[in-house]
Amino acid sequence: MLVEIPGILNRAQLDKIDQILGQSEFVDGKLSAGAAARRVKYNQELKKTPGPMELLVRILVSSLSHNAAFNGAAFPLQISEPIFARYQPGMNYGDHVDDPIMGRSGPKLRSDISMTVFLRDPESYEGGELVIRTPFGNQYVKLAAGHGVIYPSSSLHRVAEVTSGERVVALLWIQSLVRDPAKRELLFELNRAREHLLQASPEAESTHQVDRSFVNLFRLWSEV
């Protein structure tokens, strides 16, 4: 399931992140890649300096924790520390699948869901689309600054070459309370219907039935 999450970061948060990144050091992205990904990864990543990194993590993770669309689609149990990556002209990331376990320097988590949060407006750079292979063909994703996308970590995906400007993104991985992606998608769709009914017809018997079904399926399928 590929879901776009709008409005994760507002303009003030984006400006603050951009200010911090502009004063920080970036290193070769291959340093954080596994053996397979290292052969196709050509980007730079923020060096993890404690002070700036802690502030960036606080801004991003706090925004995600309060984002209803994200929580309703991902059912997060754990969220990784983000990686801040940039792509300058000529840089790209070839076809790869994300590592199954994340958290080399901290608590480990199973990567059920991958997330990209875009930090630059799409008009400011050429190329750099996130290309995700799905059963329905390739999906090309290049969103407005502050918006994000989630997709299964098992998906084969790549970042197209940047030909001008600079692509800057935050990358995160989520261990979901609902491990099975098919069950997670059903719960996502059922919850959207439930929320609509709770707003439109809160006292209707059909609303109570859908509400009970969602709650009990979530209880049945969740892992803590």
pLDDT at 28 over 70: yes
What's the CATH fold of domain 3-176?
Jelly Rolls (2.60.120)
The DSSP-derived string for 107-168 is --EE--EEEEEE-S-GGGEEE--EEEEETTEEEEE---TT-EEEEETTS-EEEPPEEEE-EE
What percent of the chain clears pLDDT 70, i.e. is strictly above it?
A: 99
Q: What is the pLDDT of residue 105?
A: 67
pLDDT at 114 over 90: yes
Q: Where in the chain is the domain with CATH 2.60.120.620?
A: 3-176
In this predicted model, what pLDDT tens digit does every residue of 90-105 receive, in sequence order?
999 999 999 999 987 6
Residue 63 confidence class, pLDDT cut points 50, 70, 90: very high
Residue 194 confidence class, pLDDT cut points 50, 70, 90: very high
| pTM of the entire predicted model | 0.94
In this predicted model, what pLDDT tens digit does every residue of 137-187 receive, in sequence order?
999 999 999 999 999 999 999 999 999 999 999 999 999 999 999 999 999
Laid out side by side, the sheet with 137-141 consists of 41-42, 92-96, 157-159, 130-134, 137-141
Mean pLDDT (the chain, rounded): 95
List alpha helices for the chain, DSSP H: 11-22, 35-38, 50-65, 68-74, 181-200, 205-221
Structure tokens at 75: 């059912």
Q: What is the pLDDT of residue 181?
A: 95
Residue 34 confidence class, pLDDT cut points 50, 70, 90: confident
DSSP β-bridge partners for residue 175: 78
